[in-house]
Amino acid sequence: MRIWDSHVHLKHGDADRTEYSAAQIVSTMDAAGIERSVVFAMSTTTERSVEMALEAVREFPDRLIPYVYALPQYGHAVLDEIARALTEQGFRGIKIHAGECTLAEYVVGPVFELAARRGVPCLIDCLGNVRAAERLARAFPGTIQIVAHMGCYLGTDARLLEGFIALAQAHDNVYLDLSGVVLLEQVQQAVGRLGAGRLIFGTDGPQQAPDTASFARLAIRKIDVLDLADDQKEDIFWRNIAGLLRLA
């Protein structure tokens, strides 16, 4: 089965701001059987995120797919940088993290509008804030919102995750990213309620747990052990993200 990883960090948001080179990412992919990966940096400026992703993709153009990191801020023309990345530099999506950027509409709204115009998805870590995700889904129905970690990284609150499943049920433009999800029963439930077409595999790697290849293999295995038809697994493991990125 083909596997695409929709959530890979060139630079993480952890305490150490851990960075991984393109070569480290691709050797991890090779070890885990992953064909292509979406890569992005956070904990840095939009400008630097573009540089880091471009360097990585130049090295492995057939394996890595770049997202630009949106860090809209007052008094800085970040929207132009994002637009240039999408129109001239081959970027396929936008990463947003509520830990570094408020999700208030007056801040991220212009980024969402740009994403809709360019037809690219926004991968958003909303830190469990289902109301913010809901406001954005409603205000920008033409923007594809991929909710990282089914809404909450390593979330153990089943009701919170169910709130995000309900959000995706109510809004066709909302997809759920399965990286960093520990309540597998909620993933199974999401397939039942949404169908496999709205769920997207990702690892949130590389991470040393205990090593990057084992971490990626475990993320794959968590989905692979679910009670799903092969066709549903194909959707989740690569077809959905390939379709959203228009690479299918």
Q: Which residues bind Zn ion (CB under 5 A)?
A: 204
Q: How far is the CB of 10 from Zn ion (least distance, A)?
A: 11
Whether the bond into 66 is cis, omega within 30 of 0: no
Q: How far is the CB of 131 from Zn ion (least distance, A)?
A: 21
List the structure tokens of 140: 């920008």
Q: How far is the CB of 77 from Zn ion (least distance, A)?
A: 26
List the structure tokens of 121: 């998805």
The size of the chain, in residues, is 248
Q: How far is the CB of 75 from Zn ion (least distance, A)?
A: 27
Would you say 215 or 232 has its CB closer to Zn ion?
215
Is the sign of the CA dihedral 14, 218, 210, 160 positive or negative?
Answer: positive
Q: How far is the CB of 119 from Zn ion (least distance, A)?
A: 23
Identity at 83, one-letter amino acid code: A
Would you say 164 or 232 has its CB closer to Zn ion?
164
Would you say 18 or 189 has its CB closer to Zn ion?
18
- The Cβ of residue 191 has, within 10 Å, a number of other Cβ atoms equal to 22
Would you say 204 or 228 has its CB closer to Zn ion?
204
Detail the DSSP E strand segments found in the chain.
4-11, 36-41, 64-69, 93-97, 122-125, 145-147, 174-177, 199-200
Q: Which helix (H) or strand (E) holds 241?
A: helix 240-244
Would you say 96 or 132 has its CB closer to Zn ion?
96
**How many whole angstroms separate alpha carbon 228 and alpha carbon 200?**
14
Contact status, residue 86 vs residue 114, Cβ threshold 8 Å: yes
Identity at 29, one-letter amino acid code: M
Q: How far is the CB of 123 from Zn ion (least distance, A)?
A: 8
Would you say 163 or 180 has its CB closer to Zn ion?
180
Whether the bond into 206 is cis, omega within 30 of 0: yes
